[in-house]
Chains A and B, each alone.
Chain A
């Protein structure tokens, strides 16, 4: 039974992956792993802006445009809509491995409704240890974004390290000035909700 099912499964996989390949040719889902160095000051200062489409950081000069999708400062996320920007972005966090998220849900996206009511709360995606003053992103928390322009993207925070301005790791009691995030992002450019 196992063998036959196994063969069947392989065939199905081949079938679907080949189908997917066709999709990729016409509308590629780009997956990138990026270092994202953000302002490490919890109390104030600039956010660092990120665009899924270019998979790069966006200059703060463009903060009032649709060019960015989310931004971070310390461990705070803001998304480009409502209280935080002119775009149409929204976000939700699902309890699933990044690779297992194959499509973006149609509903359930949240926004920064006010400056203090943000879509993403720290407790949603990391554990903070006040004793060691370290926070660790929780594995299996996948962020699903609707981008500022209405396309879909997913994101996984792989690691968060306290660093100095140059991105070199620092350990207590040296206070970090930046947090270096390693993020994995996937962007669906054709407007569909599948990854």
Chain B
């Protein structure tokens, strides 16, 4: 009987599972390497190999990466830059999401002459290579007195994030029946009342998607961070890159890896908790409307 079942299991299916498993291991390997390396002492790193488990796990590298590793001439670890990123991300995400919600609502349900053109023009903003706006934006930030400030970075992230947040909300709201708007209008409800009483209660999923998308984008940003921040206001990605490229007194790969995990942790946690929404944002943000 058993033998009978065994032969019935399609060899093809076993192969498929093996291949899927193999690639799962490949995708996980870098994370495994980062984590185990961060727990090893530097001697162990030199004598052992990448895949070996730490023999004598230590949190030395984590402590150093967080509070005393050198990122250029400063040696305060990643902590201050982690908080810089927090101070940049939160206002930028909240502001760009709110603006996007109202923009998307207007573009989806209050069409006027030229509103489609406006949407198209805005959509283009999702695609331009930011190199083409780097120089004039630096000039603008300078003349506003916002060069090398957290406020300046928040502003830049809001400006270039709104194209995406508007796209998300617009495409979501287009799916809500226009009859609802018409009926509410007949009842005398206005622009904001309709938004508050009809659209807002339906909007939780798209708010989650947008917030996660913006959070990930801004937390992970390097280009704006490296161009528009100064020595005290750098976001964590810039600090991580500086930390890795500073080798005062020998390279400490364990500290590099601990620092990299610290920089990746917030977005990874969001992904693990709300992966479904994360994927939805990726595909929505990517596959246009």
| A, B assembled together | no
List residues of chain B with CB under 8 Å of any chain A CB.
none
List residues of chain A with CB under 8 Å of any chain B CB.
none
